[in-house]
Amino acid sequence: MIDLELSRELDERGARAAAVLYSWTRMAMKSKKTAKTLLKRQDRLEGAALCWLKDEALRWTQRISWRIMLTGGTVTCAETTSCVRSGKPLSDTQTWRMKISWKILDAENAPLGYSEDEVFYNDPSASLRRTASAGPVLVRPTSSMKGSTAPENLLELRGSEYTGEPLDCDLTAAIRKQSAKRRIKRIMEAEKERAEQERIEEEQRLKEERRRRSDTPYEASTKFRWATRVVIVLGRVLRALVSYSADMIPETATQRSFRTLRDNSEVKEILFNKSLYQRGKSQYAYVPEWAKKILMKSAMERSENELSQLHSMLKGLTSYDKFTYRIQLAMCRAMTYLKVEHPRVVLRKGHIGVSFYFIFSGSVFVNVEELLTKTGHVMWHTAITLNRGDSFGELALLRNIKRTASVVVREDTELLVVEKNVFSKTCPRIFDKELADKIQFCKSLTLFEQWTDDALKNVCFEAQIQEWKANKIIVKDSSKELEWIYLCMQSINRLNIIIYRATMSESESDSEDEVTGAEKILEAMELSYKDEPHAKGDTSYIVNEEDEEDEDEDGTEEKLPEIEIVPTELERRDKRVSENFTELIKSESKTGKLNKDVVYLNIASMKSGDIFDVSEVLRPTGRTLMLVSKGAVLLRIKRHDFFRYSTKQTLRQARKVVEELDYPPRRSSIAHTTSAVFGTVKKCTASIYRERRTREVLTSRNLIRTEHARGKETADTGSCCSLSVETGKIRSISVICV
Ligand SMILES: Nc1ncnc2c1ncn2[C@@H]1O[C@@H]2COP(=O)(O)O[C@H]2[C@H]1O
């Protein structure tokens, strides 16, 4: 028998449980969780519904005559899972199921065949079926079937008598207590589990942490080891590079002597940058910070104002001034700043050229290779030292060839770099003009009369225009000068002198008097320059050829030559660190060479258009001549190029010209003069020399005057201090001796 009311009641409760379940599920659905998460949540929902149901069940279990205690149970909704999965709402009529387990408290009253578990379905047919078949429970009113609500009448254990015993009032409390205890126990267990879980997790975390900590020093030491290894390897590579670099560009004699000077603490103090102390000439000794900032910007970022600032900073640099204003601005836009520290190599011979350089501060050595014909060895020597205002690196860019020399910095040097593309677009015109000047000059010489334009162009391309101050030795020993041919473009302040270095035989060189005399004469030669303006480095003087002719005719040397400014395009492009003639004499006299067996004879002078020792170039005899500057602009062309581009015909013509010219005079005439000189010298006595010398010092500003006379020998045997010789074809020869 089924108590319909109870059944209905259960149905209602079940429906409510299902509704709760449904609402919970909806909530979960709303939160858009995945089906898996929802299913997990469903368990919790079912648990929650069960709690509610349990409370409800407790209420009616109190009403049965024999006492049971609800010990557990589950409530599931058959369609819940599918509803959750499909997201469909759960209707009130859908099947739900509750399973309740209980314990019999008063076993003696319990019916036989009783089962502790019972399942209820809200499905009426299932409920009926189940209820009917179910062994234990439910419900049969004892007295009145309908309308009876008293608990003792409401339920009756099937197959047993309803005793109608009063309900134990403490039962509810006991059950509740027990249930609470169980709940607490469960909660505690869950807590314990959670704590255990947390402990395990914490342990794992700590373990991990510890491992990581122990790993850190390991990693650090590994990294350190790697770093040291990298440093060692890099060090080795750099050392190899340095030694390779040293092998490639061995130190030249000039570099070595400069280094020795630098290392000498006493001299070091006076090795200062003189541009710092120059007033007016340069406002900026070093590139100022504001200029560096501009130079760091890209070309497009530089404003017009910044360009003009850069331009005013660079104005005054010799090689920069050669360019037109437009090109200067183009370069200001594109140039970058580069500081190179001593003793680094800026560019290396044989490399591909990518930039052109201006020296803003500092200086560099230009080192070239030289083939020693005697030994066949290749030697490096410093061809030039370039200073502030000079430029280099143009040859490779203009001719599309490899670098022709190596450039090594002499001290910390600031460079302004112009990239190849900018240089190729803007600068060639300047160099074209210089080339045109060189070609024009060569064309004016008889030597090149029959040369084609192309051949001349090729020769002139690598030819260099050089400006020399007075008293500098341009060629020390013509027999050893195998690289260049020197052509005088402009003779500043009269003539350059060509000196013949003669060696006396043993028999002729034993007089002490003559030694002193030779030395003094050489000093005098040098002293005579000292009073002249160009000797102080002032190169803005130049002599008109006509004036010189006039002067020669007059035979007066006192008359000051007319001066004119050297054209800017002929300004010095490079300069050579060369010996002073004075210093050479001093060093030779110190070592005793000069005193014993050497005498220098001034055998000729070079004027514009003259070529130094050209006869030796064409037919080498091995004679030794020296070329000393009195202030000149020279064009030097490569001997190699000269022969490479000359034809048989041009060579033949050149020889003819040179023979006719016989300039400077051939050995025979010089030898004659030398022996005459030495013969004269032998007869001199020290007392006569001293007497005469004192008189001259008193009467003349110059200690000893070199007289230029034509067709007259003025050698005064026994007391002569100057001797002039005319040898027909030689324009002017001064032989100086005592
Ligand atoms: N004998 C020399 N005299 C002056 N400058 C030179 C000499 N040889 C090379 N140079 C310069 O050194 C530079 C090396 O690179 P480039 O060949 O491009 O251009 C060269 C010239 O600017």
**Ligand 1, atom 22: closest residue by C-alpha:** 392
**203-225 confidence digits (pLDDT tens):** 888 888 887 776 666 677 888 88
> How far is it, in rounded angstroms, from Cα 43 to Cα 74?
10
- Kindly tell me if the per-residue pLDDT of 728 is higher than 50: no
pLDDT at 292: 92
pLDDT at 411: 86
pLDDT at 427: 66
Look at the chain and count its residues. 738
Pocket test for ligand 1, best of 420, 574, 575 (most atoms within 8 A of CB): 574
Ligand 1 center to 349 CA (angstroms): 9
pLDDT at 262: 75
pLDDT confidence bin for 119, thresholds 50/70/90: very low
**336-376 confidence digits (pLDDT tens):** 999 998 878 899 888 998 899 999 988 999 998 877 777 77
Taking a C-beta distance cutoff of 8 angstroms, is the pair 567, 465 a contact? no
Pocket test for ligand 1, best of 392, 634, 636, 639 (most atoms within 8 A of CB): 392
pLDDT confidence bin for 291, thresholds 50/70/90: very high
Highest mean pLDDT among 215-219, 268-272, 338-342, 543-547: 338-342
SS3 724: strand
In the chain, % of residues over pLDDT 70: 47
The residue ranking higher by pLDDT, 549 or 682, is 682
Q: What is the CB < 6 Å shell around ligand 1?
A: 347, 353, 366, 368, 383-384, 392-396, 403-405, 407, 464, 574
Return the minimum-mean-pLDDT range out of 306-310, 313-317, 690-694.
690-694
**Ligand 1, atom 19: closest residue by C-alpha:** 393
Return the minimum-mean-pLDDT range out of 68-77, 193-202, 289-298, 325-334.
68-77
Highest mean pLDDT among 132-146, 428-442, 541-555: 428-442
pLDDT confidence bin for 658, thresholds 50/70/90: confident
Ligand 1 center to 463 CA (angstroms): 11
Handedness of CA 546, 548, 550, 552 (dihedral sign): negative
> How far is it, in rounded angstroms, from Cα 290 to Cα 464?
36
Angle, nearest 10°, between helix axes 667-683 and 512-530? Answer: 120
Which two three-digit tokens encode residue 342?
Answer: 């001593």
Ligand 1 center to 447 CA (angstroms): 27
pLDDT at 220: 76
pLDDT at 708: 37
Highest mean pLDDT among 59-63, 79-83, 360-364: 360-364
Which two three-digit tokens encode residue 396?
Answer: 């490779």
**Ligand 1, atom 2: closest residue by C-alpha:** 383
- Kindly tell me if the per-residue pLDDT of 510 is higher than 60: no
Return the minimum-mean-pLDDT range out of 18-32, 103-117, 669-683, 721-735.
721-735
**Ligand 1, atom 8: closest residue by C-alpha:** 405
> Does the global pTM surpass 0.90?
no
pLDDT at 575: 39
> How far is it, in rounded angstroms, from Cα 90 to Cα 87?
9
Give the number of the atom of ligand 1 that is nearest the alpha carbon of residue 396.
18
Q: Mean pLDDT throughout 609-628?
A: 78
Q: If we measure between CA atoms, which residue out of 65, 64, 62, 93 comes closest to residue 79?
A: 93
**Ligand 1, atom 6: closest residue by C-alpha:** 366
**697-727 confidence digits (pLDDT tens):** 656 544 333 333 333 333 332 222 333 333 3
**Ligand 1, atom 9: closest residue by C-alpha:** 405
Q: If we measure between CA atoms, which residue out of 132, 115, 119 comes closest to residue 1?
A: 132
In our burial notation (b when 16+ CB lie closer than 10 A, e otherwise), range 384-407 reads bbbbbbbbbbbbbbbeeeebbbbb
Highest mean pLDDT among 21-30, 107-116, 585-594: 585-594
pLDDT confidence bin for 738, thresholds 50/70/90: very low
pLDDT at 164: 41
**Which residues face 74 on adjacent strands?**
99
- Kindly tell me if the per-residue pLDDT of 276 is higher than 50: yes
The residue ranking higher by pLDDT, 477 or 38, is 477
**Ligand 1, atom 10: closest residue by C-alpha:** 405
**Ligand 1, atom 11: closest residue by C-alpha:** 392
Ligand 1 center to 367 CA (angstroms): 9
Give the number of the atom of ligand 1 that is nearest the alpha carbon of residue 366.
12
Ligand 1 center to 333 CA (angstroms): 25
Ligand 1 center to 462 CA (angstroms): 9
717-723: long-range contacts, CB 8 A cutoff, minimum separation 24: 717/680, 717/683, 718/680, 718/683, 718/684, 718/685, 718/688, 719/684, 719/688, 719/689, 719/692, 720/680, 720/684, 721/521, 721/689, 721/692, 721/693, 721/696, 723/676, 723/677, 723/680
pLDDT at 632: 78
Ligand 1 center to 405 CA (angstroms): 5
pLDDT at 566: 37
pLDDT at 194: 85
Which two three-digit tokens encode residue 666?
Answer: 């051939």
Ligand 1 center to 30 CA (angstroms): 84
- Number of H helices and E strands in the chain, helices first, is 25, 18
**362-418 confidence digits (pLDDT tens):** 899 999 887 777 777 778 888 888 988 889 998 888 878 899 999 999 888 999 999
SS3 632: strand
Return the minimum-mean-pLDDT range out of 4-13, 163-172, 539-548.
539-548
> How far is it, in rounded angstroms, from Cα 43 to Cα 545?
120
The residue ranking higher by pLDDT, 531 or 229, is 229
Pocket test for ligand 1, best of 319, 345, 366, 466 (most atoms within 8 A of CB): 366
- Kindly tell me if the per-residue pLDDT of 196 is higher than 50: yes
SS3 357: strand
Q: Mean pLDDT throughout 222-232?
A: 89
**471-496 confidence digits (pLDDT tens):** 778 887 777 777 888 888 876 555 55
Radius of gyration of the chain (CA): 58
User: CB neighbours (10 Å) of residue 117?
Assistant: 15
- State CA 362 to chain mean position distance: 20
Mean pLDDT value across the chain? 64
The residue ranking higher by pLDDT, 75 or 439, is 439
Ligand 1 center to 392 CA (angstroms): 6
Taking a C-beta distance cutoff of 8 angstroms, is the pair 361, 287 a contact? yes
pLDDT at 416: 94
pLDDT at 248: 65
Which two three-digit tokens encode residue 18?
Answer: 């299902």
Return the minimum-mean-pLDDT range out of 108-112, 301-305, 704-708, 723-727.
723-727
pLDDT at 233: 93
Ligand 1 center to 283 CA (angstroms): 28
Pocket test for ligand 1, best of 400, 404, 637 (most atoms within 8 A of CB): 404
DSSP-derived letter for residue 506 is G
Give the number of the atom of ligand 1 that is nearest the alpha carbon of residue 383.
1
pLDDT confidence bin for 470, thresholds 50/70/90: confident
Pocket test for ligand 1, best of 395, 401, 462, 465 (most atoms within 8 A of CB): 395
Ligand 1 center to 384 CA (angstroms): 9
pLDDT confidence bin for 229, thresholds 50/70/90: very high
